[in-house]
Chains A and B, each alone.
Chain A
Amino acid sequence: MEVLKLDLFQESACYKKPFAFKVGETYPLPPYSTVKGMLHKILKAKEFIPMSISIQGDYDSKFVDYQSMYFYKDKDITKMPLDMHLLHNVKLIIHVKAERQILDGIVGGITGLDEYLSLGRREDLVRINEVKFVGLKKYNPFDEGKNYFIKYPIYIPVDKTDEELTGINYRLNWKYKIVEGLRQWEKINVIYVEKGEELSDESEIVIDDDTKDLVCFNL
């Protein structure tokens, strides 16, 4: 089975955490809902299209910019300056699994992009380096004689592994349905695992046949 692999770059980006007041904190990688949103934009989709996503990547550093942000205050809009936390020089690898025609749709959409893509806030431009189809295969630590060493920090859904892993736990938004006029988010519990961490035979390890990058789909 082939999946789509996107290699992306952002010079600066903020994947804002919800409910972070006073400072605009950012996730270390874009959450599922953000990436899903970008893909749906490429597909010009009006409703949710079934797919699953694997997100990994690295950044050079974090920095802070003090800037104005607009907020809803009850029903009004107010402006307030705050410290935005930004990531600098972000490299992202996204794998997408879906029906072939949907993946083809994404490729077609990128070819015909008439708008510059962003990921995070609208001004966080994305540079696409590569889009390609890759195959997947299993990595069996025992056969290989050693554990799989994680190459880039990655989101690993908690229920996908028994491995003892250290990282930061997040509850990431994935998709929402409207209930009584309000968005109700479906959440996914993940652990953000740093590079160098190891996966042994306590996990199902899947890698792509391109550069042997780990693939951890959210569903």
Chain B
Amino acid sequence: MIYAKSNPIESLGEHTGKLLDNYEILKDSYGHILMDKIMWKLLKIAVEYHDTGKIYSQFQNSIIRNINRYRGKNIKEIDSDFEINIPHNYLSPAFLPYKNWGFDKKICKVLYQAIAYHHERKEEPDSKIIAEIIEKELCNKIKDIKNELDIEVDDRVVSLYTNKIKRKYRIKKDDEYYNLFVLVKGLLHRLDHSSSAHEKVELAVDKNVGTFTSKYLKRFPVLREVQKFSKDNKDRNLIVVASTGMGKTESALLWIDEDKGFFTLPLRVSINALYDRITKEDEIGYGFAGLLHSTSINHLEDSKCEESEMIYEQSRLLSKKLTFCTIDQIFKFPFKYLGYEKSYATLAYSKVVIDEIQAYDPKIAATLLVGLKMINDIGGKFMIMTATLPPIYEDYLKKVVDEKEIVYGKFLTDTVRHKIKIKEKTIIDDADEILTRGRNRKVLVIVNTVSRAIEVFEQLDNNKHGVKINLLHSMFIKKDRAYLERKIKEFADDEGENGIWVTTQLVEASLDIDFDYLFTELSPLDSFFQRLGRCYRKRQFNLDEPNVFVYTEEVKGIGSIYDKDIWDKSKKILQNYDLRELKEEDKIKMINKLYSRENLDGSEYLEKFDNALNYIENINPYELNKNEAQDLLRNIDNVNVIPRRIYENIEKKIDEYKSYQIDKNDADSIKYFKKLRRDIDNCTVSIPYYVAKKSDVISPISERKRLSDLYILERKYDFKDGKGKGVLIGEMLSNIL
């Protein structure tokens, strides 16, 4: 038997057979989109030959040793003239009978490289050793390969391909067969990974999310304009600017319709909420969706989902028909990290939705835009949905994507929901105003930093005279924060409740709440408009005084959390709308003015954006590995900590986790282990790295690998009976969101 895998034991024939089955599934499912016959032909060849190099004696012996070690067998190793084990993928191309196919030399190169790099390794293929192995050993194994795989092999195997798989000659974007290469290599990765995991490469192919959505929308009298527009332009790239509450999500699902789709949002919380909404029976009821972000497994398990593990795995393999994800999961490919072709090739026959593009910082937005260009280049489709689209983003897309390929739609409500009053004082000095309204109404206060939130909270709490004051910011441990988030929603939904919630920008995007009054420090316009959305969310403005008060003096977080240029320019633009009823059109105008190239000329913000575009467009492929690329897209400057007091409460659990022996063959054991980890995670809070770095702020929890990413926070933590101020870092809180 020629071994391919040791756990479970699988022969080369079995493993290759699995890939071939998956190949057929893929071709049947999406062959109508990926129509290049040559591509399918090459992919099939790549599948058949990709692991032939495993026949090399030293590879076989390494598997045999594994089987003997872990399965208590005693299989004899095979004789070998060689000591060295070189990656099998560098040997596989030897068996390609390329002379029989008459491909162009450049096409052969596509094939060689797709196979040679179906595992990305740091080590350079060593031509001389490869040549020697082929000459001395592989040429005697031709018959064995033919018997095992039923494929064509020449009577002689030669190593002429070694020059074609050198790292320095890897196929890059200016190569005429670049797209072909991305597809063959990327899809081979997909087939290989899903087959190794014993999963199907594509699932629920015939489950059309458009149909489910249409059925759901029958509850409403008519399709809204934006929904009809998206449905009518299914075969195009869309850029849709639409106000909140216009039914954007359904529009996107109607646009995806029968295709494979990826739906992205900036925040994990929002994605979780969206996922729940789509999958719930009494809503859209589309049960075939996947969920993919850094903590998606936790959410799936919390949803008491029996199949959480499976859904998570299938989402990771990109096999789901529709996947809800954060951009760091699928938009790393513009960095061209080692193995990027896998997600890039998948997006070539999918549709991608980018929701809330205005929420990303300029560097990440630049990555997304370059990614959208690449998707369009290789045949995929994208849709951008946003309440406001910065003109500099639009300018770039117009430059790199043929204008015939993009359709623009603007859908604004006529409803006027806000009237703002600009107050040139600090928010602390206006506590009376806030308290007055909090007595009989729901009042939301949003400030720019945690320390300011605590300050305002204390100020109000000391003078409350019976008014209910609550505080929510990011410096609570996960489970307390989740509790507070639940509370604020209940408060907002309860008609009879009045009072005040003091919060930071964390309520901007993730929480679906509606208050009567908003008191806020000024933030850049896009963030400010998000804040407006938490007050008179869908109601027509009906007061005889403004419902929004904006404070512009001694505002915190400018220059640290928010870009100073942008903030100054926002203030200037907003001045013109003091005490005017604000229309949706006005917001668009303001954003167009703020984020136009001329207005931003010379600003640090624009420089960051342009530099990022430049960097990503000209990046050297294969310099980064997957994790490095991920780090560039994630907010990595945070450290997870457990406040000392909480740590002492759960110390037993932590010790148990640290020394827990997992029985890999026992599902319950694995489950219990994961639950321990989740319980610990729920007691953590993320603090900025630069705060943690200061001496005596944190101490490590564990010397060992397990939990080495967690620290103990040597600071007070204030939370009791569902109330408190959270972490008290003292003066260091000033620049935390």
Contacts and interface: CB of A to CB of B under 8 A. Distances in A.
A169 interface: no
A36 B397 CA distance: 58
Interface stretch (A52-60, A83-91, A198-206, A209-217): A198-206
Given A145-B134, A145-B135, A149-B128, A163 B158 contact: no
A199 B162 CA distance: 10
A166 B169 CA distance: 9
Interface string A140-152: 0110011101000
A164 interface: yes
Contacts of A196: 127
B142 to A, nearest CB: 13
Contact of A147 (B105, B131, B139, B168): B131
- Choose among A166, A198, A199 the residue with the greatest number of B CB atoms under 10 Å from its CB: A198
Contact of B160 (A146, A149, A164): A146
Interface string B162-189: 1110001100000000000000000000
A146 B134 contact: yes
B158 A141 contact: yes
A20 B539 CA distance: 77
B653 interface: no
Nearest to B163: A198
A202 B160 CA distance: 10
A142 B168 CA distance: 23
A26 to B, nearest CB: 25
Nearest to A149: B128
Interface residues of A, number: 16
B169 A147 contact: no
Given A163-B163, A164-B163, A166-B168, A145 B158 contact: yes
Interface string B572-585: 00000000000000
Name the interface size band of chain B: 10 to 19
Interface in B108-132: 127-128, 131
Contacts of A142: 158, 160
Contacts of B160: 141-142, 146-147, 200-201
Given A164-B169, A198-B163, A146 B105 contact: no
B21 to A, nearest CB: 35
B682 interface: no
B623 to A, nearest CB: 18
A163 B158 CA distance: 17
B163 A146 contact: no
Contact of B135 (A146, A197, A198, A201): A146
Contacts of A163: 163
A211 B31 CA distance: 55
Interface in A95-141: 141
B71 interface: no
B163 A200 contact: yes
Given A198-B127, A198-B163, A202-B105, A146 B168 contact: no
Contact of B159 (A146, A197, A202): A146
Given A166-B169, A202-B105, 5 more contacts: A141-B160, A145-B157, A147-B162, A164-B163, A200-B164
Interface of A: 141-142, 145-147, 149, 163-164, 166, 196-202
14 contacts: A141-B158, A141-B160, A145-B157, A145-B158, A145-B159, A146-B135, A146-B162, A147-B127, A147-B163, A164-B163, A166-B169, A197-B163, A198-B127, A200-B160
